[in-house]
A and B are shown apart, each in its own frame.
Chain A
Amino acid sequence: MAAEPGTSRSLAAQIALMLIIILFCVFPFYWMVTTSLKTQVMALEAPPVWLFEPTFANYVTVLFEDGVLRTLINSLIVAVSTTTLAIMLGLPAAFALARFEFRGKKDLWFWFITNRMISPIVLALPLFLIVRNLGMLDSRITLILIYLTFNLPIVIWICTDQFRSIPYELDEAASLEGASQWRIFRSICVPLAMPGIAVSGIFAFIFSWNELMFALVLTRNNAKTAPAMAVSFMEGYNLPYGKIMATSTLIVIPVLIFALIASKHLVRGLTMGAVK
């Protein structure tokens, strides 16, 4: 470790460490995908086999016989709708936080951070009772609205930061020409803030797509999302490991694509901007 950079020994150590890191991160993922390509008999072989003839049978079965396709569609509808809604509601609020001065701004900020940290079980208990009384259990709309509790703060935070980075002179110039705040927001700031809006959308999508607690408590059948479905495979003995891993892979792939696209902003998003 103490060797100076550039010497061949330290270079070799650096390469070795990086390869170990990659292996450590990728291996469980590799194991998930390969297990999903095994038949049940193969998946239950002890010790596990590494080389085998892959089959897509698990994917066909879970998608078209076990109803995972329907839950993936539910997940997609819920995640896309709640993300859209969060952006529609959150963008003007972010603009206000970036551009206007008003009392209570700090409290508002504090409230958003609290929402980021609050355990979902704290909300799941009362929401279950409320939603049950309203007769809205097992409905996608319920999930779409409830997911706003964590999506709205993240969208507002990332977009406020983005709006702040747009030079204020642009607003002033437009203002002199008689443009209203709404017009400045819509025609100048939103187009310039597109990168931030996209990143916040990706975050909102990932968080909604991954969510399990609310989906478990508030859905039964109609509105069941893919993670809740994956959990329901876990009942009884002789677990269908191949099927569970196929469903898991189907759940993880879209998240992974989005996360890699937004990888530069991952830290910023996960720390609510405290670390840039």
Chain B
Amino acid sequence: MPATTSRSTIFAFLGPAVISLAVIGIVPLLYAFYTSLYFFNLTKLKNARFIWFENYGSVLTDPVFWEAMGRTFRLLLISLPLQIALGLVIALVLHRPGLGFLRVLTRLSLVLPMATTYAVVGLLGQVMFNQKFGVVNQLIGFLGVEPVNWIGDPFNAFAMIIFLDVWQWTPFVALVLLAGLTTVPGEVEEAARLETKNWWTILRHVQLPFLMPGLVAILILRTADTLKLFDMVFTLTRGGPGSSTELISLMIQRVGFRAFDQGVASAQAIILLIITIILAQLYIKLLYKEV
């Protein structure tokens, strides 16, 4: 590395990117913080006034906020273990040698759910889970199950969101774990296979250490993505019925753009931002060694 690069050269290379990202990425955050200190409702602009941290007080004591937060983490706590279990099975199946063509085909098909526009997943859910003419009810009907009201029932709607989240993100988990499995040195794995034929023993004692970095990445990124999750749920249920699928991002969007209470919504957004910053810190600390 050259120690001789002048500061002006460094600035010439970095400046444009850093300045533009600061203008569009940091200025709005400062503005959100500023808004969060005001009573600021778009329908009552005349009453706007500085109220210090009152919005934060009301957000932190607002059961609706905590319910949305709880719902978001409930989704994470149910769908993430499912994604990891299914993803692990897929990764192990793809890691086994042989059947080259079918393996390539499987790998490519895993790209499909990940690439599907999040908003489209929600629209697709509307069509497939419709009570009367949805294909899901038709398929479970073959198994003798009565048609289920997916979209209109609070419990079922949440189950449907879990299903679609699992559909979309299990392939991601599988590919990350598969990448981990390929880092196990060949001779180590072969030696272990001579010792035992039990796949669980091999997984637990030989492969698991190599899967750890991937699992940490999955844990943090899925948490961040669940806190971000908006498009799919918005196009599918808009948070309903009632507030049964109103995750944190949807709730902030409702308060800010449908109740027009920008002050409170900004305070909620800043709280969400703080959680995100903590997650990003963790991600860096645990996963990047070189920087």
Please report A residues at the B interface, Cβ cutoff 8 Å: 1-2, 4-6, 11, 14-15, 17-19, 21-22, 24-26, 28-29, 31-32, 35, 43-48, 89-90, 92-93, 95-97, 99-102, 105-106, 108-111, 113-130, 145-146, 148-149, 152-153, 156, 168, 175, 181-182, 185, 206, 209-210, 212-213, 217, 227, 230-231, 234, 239, 241, 244-245, 248, 251-252, 255-256, 258-260, 263, 266-267, 270-271, 274-276
Contacts and interface: CB of A to CB of B under 8 A. Distances in A.
23 contacts: A25-B109, A28-B128, A29-B112, A93-B13, A100-B1, A100-B5, A108-B14, A110-B281, A117-B279, A119-B276, A124-B253, A125-B35, A125-B262, A126-B32, A128-B257, A130-B28, A148-B24, A244-B127, A252-B116, A260-B111, A260-B115, A274-B213, A274-B288
B17 A5 contact: no
Interface in B244-269: 248-249, 252-253, 256-257, 262, 265-266, 269
Nearest to A274: B287
Contacts of A120: 228, 230, 249
B78 interface: no
A22 B31 contact: no
Nearest to B273: A122
A257 B23 CA distance: 33
Contacts of B51: none
A251 B118 CA distance: 11
Main secondary structure of the interface of A (DSSP, over half): helix
Given A92-B16, A275-B213, A248 B120 contact: yes
A119 B230 contact: yes
A15 B99 contact: yes
Given A25-B113, A119-B230, A126-B31, A45 B133 contact: yes
A227 B232 CA distance: 11
B106 interface: yes
A230 B138 contact: no
A121 B230 contact: yes
Contact of A95 (B7, B13, B291): B13
Nearest to B3: A101
Contacts of B266: 125-126
Contacts of A185: 13
Contacts of A266: 111, 114, 175
Contacts of B227: 119
A206 B115 contact: yes
Interface string B12-24: 1110111011001
Given A31-B127, A93-B17, A244-B127, A26 B112 contact: yes
Contact of A25 (B12, B171, B180, B231): B171
B89 interface: yes
Main secondary structure of the interface of B (DSSP, over half): helix
A96 B13 contact: yes
A29 B116 contact: yes
Contacts of A35: 127
A126 B10 contact: no
Interface stretch (B54-62, B90-98, B152-160): B90-98
A17 to B, nearest CB: 5
A255 to B, nearest CB: 5
Contact of A148 (B20, B31, B115, B124): B20
A120 B273 CA distance: 10
Contacts of A210: 117-119, 231
B20 A152 contact: yes
Shortest Cβ-Cβ A-B pairs, 6 listed: A259-B115, A93-B17, A96-B13, A117-B224, A126-B28, A126-B32
Given A5-B96, A100-B2, A118 B276 contact: yes
Nearest to B103: A18
Contact of B283 (A105, A113, A129): A113
B2 A99 contact: yes
Contacts of A17: 89, 93
Contact of A234 (B2, B9, B235, B281): B235
Contact of B253 (A29, A97, A121, A152): A121
A172 to B, nearest CB: 9
Given A31-B128, A119-B228, 4 more contacts: A122-B270, A122-B272, A231-B123, A245-B127
